[in-house]
């Protein structure tokens, strides 16, 4: 198809507070997934594979590590003389007072950037989700149905009340949008991938902020305004999609990648690119036991690893046991330590022979090597294949 003039806006400024200590010192988009990727790789690779190269990434919370990782867009072939990746740094003054109060406010603060680019369409997506998607298919739906806003939707098995819940008619027109409702009707939710007709988006932002009005999250004012006043349609996404907003969903996503029933990160027809440094291959030492696991580059295993994801340059020492766990980059698991259903933060030194974690909780071990928090496993949420073990 002819690719219309489209500006992609990645919202990557959120704090990710539901991930507890995992995001105390880094923003969610740089969290490792599947051992050798970062969460921001998903958004950027989907855009690159969709041949959309005019991209702005909105930052706010702890942007330094994200800036360093982005490498001016080079790993995704987005470091260009014309177009390419543009980092939209947080700022005060200009379009709004103080820092952005939500994702709709973030879009509003970039309205002059959008206007200057003069696109036909604006593709807005979050950096918080795990999926693969050809955004040209979404644009096709938007154009064919002559929509003002297209919401990419998906059906979830978990409690939909933490999402925007969507109602549609037989023609795919969105008739109702309930943002994080206490009593949701149905399981169809917004994936936080949206296509706006640019002129309609800019007009809506101006109207909603007239006379001193303020924007917060997209579900508070922006999407309801479009549903009430403009034509809004859905584009159904029937493949894998997961919001990595909680410790359980983060743990689940990594183990589903391992099990082969999650997002596919090694499809040669739709490659996911990464800016991670080149490291030597993983090493499995004599006496080690490894079963059904992913071992990332630079990792060393001397102990026992079962059904786990081991990050880059992580070390599992002799006498250590790691089961159903996600060990992030540079962590070291010492002799006598037994991990069950754990997430170990980057660089943690876990020592002192004892068991961490239980079969009915997800346990986060912080970068200080100590237990940060435990979250009970939600039986209604998606779990890795084979659970409980």
What was the pLDDT predicted at 158?
83
pLDDT, tens digit (0-9, with 9 covering 90-100), for 1-48? 689 999 999 998 666 567 888 888 788 888 999 998 999 999 999 999
Which pLDDT belongs to residue 389?
A: 42
How far CA 122 is from CA of 35, 81, 138, 161, 164, in Å, comes to 32, 21, 12, 27, 20
Please give the domain boundaries of the chain with CATH numbers for all domains: 6-256 (3.90.550.10), 277-376 (2.160.10.10)
Question: Using an 8 Å Cβ cutoff, are 322 and 306 in contact?
Answer: yes
Distance of CA 164 to the CA centre of its chain: 16
For residues 109 and 95, the answer to whether their CB atoms sit within 8 Å is yes
Residue where the block lists tokens 């902020």: 209
Q: Counting beta carbons within 10 angstroms of the beta carbon of residue 212, is it exposed (0 to 12), middle (13 to 18) or buried (19 or more)?
A: exposed
Interatomic CA distance for residues 319 and 18, integer angstroms: 33
SS3 content of the chain, % helix, strand, coil (to 5): 25, 30, 45
Distance between CA atoms of 14 and 30, rounded to whole angstroms? 12
> How far, in Å, CA of 262 to CA of 42, rounded?
13
| pTM across the whole model | 0.92
How far is 248 from 364, CA to CA, in rounded Å? 10
Backbone phi, psi, residue 355, to 5° = -85, 135
Q: What is the pLDDT along the chain (389 residues), one digit of tens a residue?
A: 689 999 999 998 666 567 888 888 788 888 999 998 999 999 999 999 999 999 999 887 667 677 777 776 777 878 777 778 888 876 665 545 566 778 898 899 899 999 999 999 999 999 889 999 999 999 999 999 999 999 999 999 888 998 999 999 999 999 999 999 999 999 999 999 999 999 999 999 999 998 777 888 899 999 999 999 999 999 999 999 999 988 999 999 999 999 998 888 989 999 999 887 889 999 999 999 999 999 999 999 999 999 999 999 999 999 999 999 999 999 999 999 999 999 999 999 999 988 999 989 999 999 999 999 998 887 656 566 555 44
Helix H segments across the chain? 39-49, 64-70, 103-109, 111-117, 135-144, 198-208, 222-229, 247-259
């Amino acid at each position: 198809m002819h690719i219309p003039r489209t500006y992609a806006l990645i919202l990557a400024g959120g704090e990710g507070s539901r991930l507890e200590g995992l995001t105390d010192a880094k923003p969610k988009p740089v969290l490792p997934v599947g051992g050798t990727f970062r969460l921001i790789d998903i958004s950027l690779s989907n855009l690159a594979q969709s041949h959309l190269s005019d991209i702005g990434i909105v930052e706010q919370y702890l942007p330094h590590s994200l800036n360093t990782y982005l490498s001016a867009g080079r790993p995704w072939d987005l470091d260009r003389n014309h177009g390419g990746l543009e980092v939209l740094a947080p700022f005060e003054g200009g379009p709004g007072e103080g820092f952005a109060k939500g994702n709709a406010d973030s879009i509003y603060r970039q309205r002059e950037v959008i206007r200057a680019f003069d696109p036909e369409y604006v593709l807005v997506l979050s950096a918080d989700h795990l999926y693969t998607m050809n955004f040209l298919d979404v644009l096709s739906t938007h154009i064919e149905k002559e929509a003002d806003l297209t919401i990419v939707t998906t059906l979830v098995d978990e409690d939909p009340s933490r999402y925007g819940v969507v109602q549609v008619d037989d023609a795919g027109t969105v008739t109702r949008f309930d943002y994080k409702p206490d009593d949701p009707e149905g399981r169809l939710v917004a994936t936080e991938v949206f296509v706006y007709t640019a002129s309609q988006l800019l007009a809506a932002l101006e109207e909603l902020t007239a006379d001193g009005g303020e924007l917060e999250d997209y579900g508070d004012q922006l999407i309801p305004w479009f549903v009430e006043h403009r034509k809004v349609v859905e584009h159904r996404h029937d493949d894998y999609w997961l919001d990595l907003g909680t410790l359980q969903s983060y743990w689940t996503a990594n183990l589903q990648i391992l099990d082969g029933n999650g997002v596919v990160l090694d499809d040669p027809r739709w490659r996911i690119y990464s800016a991670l440094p080149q490291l030597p291959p993983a090493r499995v030492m004599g006496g080690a036991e490894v079963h059904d696991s992913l071992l990332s580059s630079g990792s060393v295993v001397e102990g026992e690893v079962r059904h786990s994801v081991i990050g880059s340059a992580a070390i599992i020492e002799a006498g250590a046991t790691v089961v159903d766990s996600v060990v992030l980059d540079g962590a070291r698991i010492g002799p006598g330590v037994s991990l069950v259903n754990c997430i170990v933060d980057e660089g943690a030194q876990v020592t002192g022979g004892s068991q961490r974690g239980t079969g009915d909780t997800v346990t986060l071990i912080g970068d200080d090597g100590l237990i940060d928090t435990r979250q009970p496993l939600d039986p209604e949420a998606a779990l890795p294949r084979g659970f409980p073990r």
